[in-house]
Structure formats: C-alpha cells, structure tokens
Amino acid sequence: MRRRGPLALIALIAVPLAACGGGGTSTATQAASGCRDVPQPAPKHVRLKRPKQTVSRAAHLRAVVATTCGSFTIALDARRAPRTVNSFAYLARRGFYDDTTFHRVVPGFVIQGGDPLGNGTGGPGYFVDEPPPESLSYTRGTVAMAKAQVEPPGRSGSQFFVVLPADAGLPPDYALLGRVTRGWATVRRIAALGVPGSASGRPSQPVVIRHVAIRRGG
C-alpha cells in the first residue's frame, strides 16, 4: 500500500462544521447510514492540568465508546503505552469526550475524534509524550493519538484515530492507545459517512460521541 503522509491535526477554523438540517432528506440519510441524525455540538473550551500517573503497565482496561452510530470497544494497551492510556482514561472519566465528535473521516484511512472544539485544533490544555514502539504498525483496528506534524513523535492531547485499512502506511510517530476489539460495524458506519476527496475530512453528517466508559478487564 502506498505510504501516506503523517496524520496531522487539520485546522478548520475558516470552515465551521454545520449540523444536518431536518426534513425528509435528513430522515433518509439517517436510514441509509444507520446513524442518528443529530445537530453539531457546540465547541467546548477546556483547559485541564496533566493528570498524575495512576495506571500501571499491568492494568487491563477497555474503553466503550458510545456514539450516535452505535458503540465500539477499545482494548487499552497499558503495557506498551501506560502514560497515553492514563491520560485517555482520565479524560474519559471526567466526561471530557461527552458530546465531542468524529470531526475527520477519511474513507479507507482513518476516523478521528476527541476534539472539544470540533474542528481539529482543540485539546485538553496539556500534552503527554510517550514515543510508540519502533516496531508499531498502524494496522486495521489500531487506535492511536493524533498530533500536529511539527510535534515530536508520541506527543498527544485528546484526539485519537482508528485505522481502517489493513495497513495505513504511517511511520511510528503516533502514540499508541490500543485496538478495537468489538463493534467494528459501528466503525464501518462512521467510516461510510466520509466524503471522498474532501480536503477537510468532515463527515456528511455529525457523528457525536455520547460517552466513553472506562471498564476493567479485557
């Protein structure tokens, strides 16, 4: 597969995300996609302090991500990425991800979400550095953290992405979070809302994260 460029956060300040309108067209879109037709959430301006490290490498945690397209589960890889998992779990438990969106959906590549501003430029107010394993490949179902191209390998805030193809062809620059183990049908429904050729990656209708629940066990 042809190698793609680094996954960077996309600045969309000049192109605000719009909610889908009502009426018959909206209902048809909902039926075709299998996703609820909902308005775009308002931006949230957040500034948190970096959390203390409470997650150990021996922790077995999973994140259940409930969206307007259904739910999927991420097995969090605390063994290889304890700092990244710790930050993600901290944000989820604070409700940070509630009513954020998958603002970037690139068919055949990734779905990306977790930005409180909803435009690809936001974060939690802090960052975490944890270089991923050098041998890491971003294969189908891998979940990693997005970053700006100018940031060092392994830096992350709150935005995360799920890899769609067998191999995304990315260099090992993006902090590992885990892997999708359940709910791939939901991921496919979200991916199907991507607009081929779109420069922004904005999906054809808003995909809202209702809640992220952190649970113990595999």
Strands of the 70-76 sheet, one edge to the other: 100-101, 208-216, 61-67, 70-76, 176-182, 142-145, 160-163, 110-113, 104-106
Cα distances from 96 to residues 37, 102, 122, 124, in angstroms, run 22, 14, 12, 8
pLDDT category at 30 given cuts 50, 70, 90 is low
pTM: 0.86
pLDDT category at 22 given cuts 50, 70, 90 is very low
**Structural domain boundaries in the chain:** 24-216
Torsion, Cα of 44, 212, 21, 120 (10° steps): 50
Comparison of pLDDT for 187 and 26, the residue scoring more: 187
pLDDT in the model for residue 205 = 97
pLDDT in the model for residue 12 = 30
Per CATH, which fold does 24-216 belong to?
Cyclophilin (2.40.100)
